[in-house]
Structures are given as structure tokens and as C-alpha cells.
């Protein structure tokens, strides 16, 4: 009899808890959907806002025009050119070094303490704030070599900033190549160098290119390093290939216009410059990654 009287009570308690669990679960699901939805809306809102305020006013005159210090209507030509020029030089320095170091870590390095040291160095370097590379650039190029603020100094500092990422990406990509393919190459009598050049690198190309485009986007939009090593002015002429002239890039120009310039149309210039910056960074990312995504989707 006693058990009978207990049963409905305990059943009720279970029912109540079950109900609570369901409510919690439902609340949780709604909250997660809500937060994720808000975040995505917010992100698209931001991107849309930048593009919407800048793109309609873009003209070729603006993109290739010279900036002006006092009058309205200045362009971003030299800054844009410097961005690309610096990026190309920094990649020319960083890619061979980074890929070679990545190959060493993946292929040659003995599995002992030494490789651990190098790997910690690479990770440490990857975590160094970009500002520090700027300070390093000043100490090295402005102070030690007495060059002043130059495009060269900024490009080399950018290369140092990007180097560790390229190393890590290359190492991971080469390690991901299946061992059978490598052994097949050795079995055909290929030397280690031939195997690396003809087999491993082509196989790992996808990963390496993803890494390089990541780095390129970062280098294109980097401002802290450039502001310290190349200054906030340009030499004032378009297509200035001189490595030793001062040269701000587009990101620095955006900051400069927004916080220090006295031109009357600063707001409009910075809106347009931000739009150009975003478009190019997104283009670098999408163009390089598109083939990758397509391939990934196919292989699924």
C-alpha cells in the first residue's frame, strides 16, 4: 500500500523535472539560434554598411588619383600602389624562406629536442604582436642602417611578420601528403630533392596557397608595422618604384585621413578607402580559396 501511495508522487516529481529539462532544452536551442543569428546579421550588416557607403562613390580618378593635403577630392593612388608593392616585396622575401623552413621541419628535421626548439620559435614568432615587428623595423632600418622611413624597411618587417605563418602552413601541408605517394617516388629511384620538388610540393600546393593568401590579406591590410617603418606620407608621385622612399599603404592612409588630415572631405575619402580595402582583401581570399572549396565539396 505504501509503495502505491509513493508512486504517483515520485512520478509527478519526475514529470516536473522532465518538463523543466524540456523547457531548458528549448530555451537553450532558441538562445543559440538567436545568438548565432544576431552575429551573422551583425557581420553582414557591417560588410554591407562599408560597401554601401563607399562603393557608389568610387571613381577611377579616386583610385588612381594623387592624395591632397588641403583641398577636397584627393585620391588614394600612391597609397594603393604602395600597398601592393610592399605586399609583393614582402611575399618575395617571405615565401622562399618560409617554404624552405617548412620543408625542413616536415622532411629533414630529426625528431628530437632541436626540432622542438625551432617549432617553439616559429610559434613564438607567430604570436608576436605586429606592433613589435614595427619597433624591430625602426631599430633595424631607421637606427642601425640609418635609412629613415622606407618602403624597403616596411616590406622586410612585413615579411618577418608573415614568415612564421607560411612556415607552419607549409609544414602542415607537406606532412598531410600520404606516405605511400612519397614512398612510390622513392621506389622509382627519385632522390629526396626530386621527391620534394615533383611530388610533395605539388601535392601540398593547395594548403600552401591557402596559407599564402591568408598572409597576403594580412599584409595588405597591415597598418601598425607600416606606420612605424614607412611613415604616414608618400613620395607624392604615382608608380614610385624607389625602395628607399617613404610610403604609407592604404590602411595607414585610411587611419591618417580619419584622425589627422585636414581635408574637408575626409569622411568621404575614408569611406571609399575602407570599401576599396575590404573589396581587395575579400577578393584575395575568395579568388585563391574558391578552387579549394570547390575541390573540397567534390571530394565529399
Partner 1 sequence: MLESTTTGSIAVSGELGHSIRSGSGRKLDRKNRLLLYNRTFKIACIASAGFVCLILFSILFLMFRTGVLTFQTVPAAKFFFSTDWSPENESYGAFIFIFGTFALTALTLLISVPISIFVAVFLAEIAPRWLRDAMRPVLDLLVGIPSVVYGFLGMTILIPLLRESAGTSMGDGILAAAIVLSIMVLPTISRISDDSISVVPQKYRDASYALGATRFQTVFKVVLPAARSGIIYGIILGMARAVGETMAVVMVIGNTPQLADALFKPTSVLTSNIVMQISNVPFDSTWNYALYLMGFLLLVISLVMIVIIRLIQRRGAKS
Of 36, 88, 205, 244, the one binding partner 1 (CB under 8 A) is: 36
- Is-contact 168 212, C-beta < 8 A? no
CB of 1 to partner 1, least distance (A): 30
CA proximity to 270, closest of 113, 278, 82, 124? 278
Q: Which is nearer to partner 1, 12 or 48 (CB)?
A: 48
CA-atom Rg of the chain in angstroms = 27
Q: How many residues belong to the chain?
A: 300
What residues numbered 123-142 form the site for partner 1, per CB under 8 A?
123-125, 127-136, 138-140, 142
Which one of 5-13, 64-72, 120-128, 238-246 is the stretch in contact with partner 1 (CB under 8 A)? Answer: 120-128
C-alpha cell at 179: 606516405
Find, among 54, 24, 46, the residue nearest to 273 by Cα: 54
**14/72 with CB nearer partner 1:** 14
d(CA 99, CA 162): 12
Which residue among 51, 63, 118, 147 contacts partner 1 (CB under 8 A)?
Answer: 118
Residue number with CB closer to partner 1 (15 or 100):
100
Nearer Cβ to partner 1, position 5 or 299?
299
Task: Report the residue number, 151 or 277, with the smaller CB distance to partner 1.
Answer: 277
Residue 222 binding partner 1, by CB under 8 A? yes
Which residues, 148 to 187, sit near partner 1 by CB under 8 A? 160, 163-164, 167, 179-180, 182-183, 186
- # binding residues, partner 1 (CB under 8 A): 97
C-beta closer to partner 1: residue 21 or 241: 21
Is the C-alpha dihedral spanning 279, 284, 287, 292 positive or negative?
Answer: negative
Contact call for residue 294 and partner 1 (CB under 8 A): no
Task: Please state, as a whole number, how many other Cβ atoms lie within 10 Å of the Cβ of residue 154.
Answer: 32
Q: Give the one residue of 91, 151, 196, 269 binding partner 1; rule: CB under 8 A.
A: 196
Quote the least distance from Cβ 151 to partner 1, whole Å: 16
b/e sequence 204-216, b meaning 16+ C-beta within 10 Å: bebbbbbbbbbbb
Q: How many CA atoms lie within 13 A of 72 on its CB side?
A: 4
Q: Is 263 in the site for partner 1 (CB under 8 A)?
A: no
Q: Which is nearer to partner 1, 1 or 249 (CB)?
A: 249
Task: Kindly identify the residues of this chain, within the stretch 58-117, that bind partner 1 according to CB under 8 A.
Answer: 96-98, 100-101, 103-105, 107-109, 117
SS3 state at 103: helix
Name the burial class of residue 190, with classes exposed (0-12), middle (13-18) and buried (19+) by CB atoms within 10 angstroms of its CB. Answer: middle
Region 228-247 residues binding partner 1, contact defined as CB under 8 A: 228, 231
Comparison of 3 and 103: residue with beta carbon closer to partner 1: 103
Cell 590602411 maps to which residue? 251
Residue 178 backbone zone (phi > 0: left; psi -120 to 50: alpha; other: beta): beta
Among 6, 11, 12, 29, binds partner 1 (CB under 8 A): 29
Amino acid at each position: 500500500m505504501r509503495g502505491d501511495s509513493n508512486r504517483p508522487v515520485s512520478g509527478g516529481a519526475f514529470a516536473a523535472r522532465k518538463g523543466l529539462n524540456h523547457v531548458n532544452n528549448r530555451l537553450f536551442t532558441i538562445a543559440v539560434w538567436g545568438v548565432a543569428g544576431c552575429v551573422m546579421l551583425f557581420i553582414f550588416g557591417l560588410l554591407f554598411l562599408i560597401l554601401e557607403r563607399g562603393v557608389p562613390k568610387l571613381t577611377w580618378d579616386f583610385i588612381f588619383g594623387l592624395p591632397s593635403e588641403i583641398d577636397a577630392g584627393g585620391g588614394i593612388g600612391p597609397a594603393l600602389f604602395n600597398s601592393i608593392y610592399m605586399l609583393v616585396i614582402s611575399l618575395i622575401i617571405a615565401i622562399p624562406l618560409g617554404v624552405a623552413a617548412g620543408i625542413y621541419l616536415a622532411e629533414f628535421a630529426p625528431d628530437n629536442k632541436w626540432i622542438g626548439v625551432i617549432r617553439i620559435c616559429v610559434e613564438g614568432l607567430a604570436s608576436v604582436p605586429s606592433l613589435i615587428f614595427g619597433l624591430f623595423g625602426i631599430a633595424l632600418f631607421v637606427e642601425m642602417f640609418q635609412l629613415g622611413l622606407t618602403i624597403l624597411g616596411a616590406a622586410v618587417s612585413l615579411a618577418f611578420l608573415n614568415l612564421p605563418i607560411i612556415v607552419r602552413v607549409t609544414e602542415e601541408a607537406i606532412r598531410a601528403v600520404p606516405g605511400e605517394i612519397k614512398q612510390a617516388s622513392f621506389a622509382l629511384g627519385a632522390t629526396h630533392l626530386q621527391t620534394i620538388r615533383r611530388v610533395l610540393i605539388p601535392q601540398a600546393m593547395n594548403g600552401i596557397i591557402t596559407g599564402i593568401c591568408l598572409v597576403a590579406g594580412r599584409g595588405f591590410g597591415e597598418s601598425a608595422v607600416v606606420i612605424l617603418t614607412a611613415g604616414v606620407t608618400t613620395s607624392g608621385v604615382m608608380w614610385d618604384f624607389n625602395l628607399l622612399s617613404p610610403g604609407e599603404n592604404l590602411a595607414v592612409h585610411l587611419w591618417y585621413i580619419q584622425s589627422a588630415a585636414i581635408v574637408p572631405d575626409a569622411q568621404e575619402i575614408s569611406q571609399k578607402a575602407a570599401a576599396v580595402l575590404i573589396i581587395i582583401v575579400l577578393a584575395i581570399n575568395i579568388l585563391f580559396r574558391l578552387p579549394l572549396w570547390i575541390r573540397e565539396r567534390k571530394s565529399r
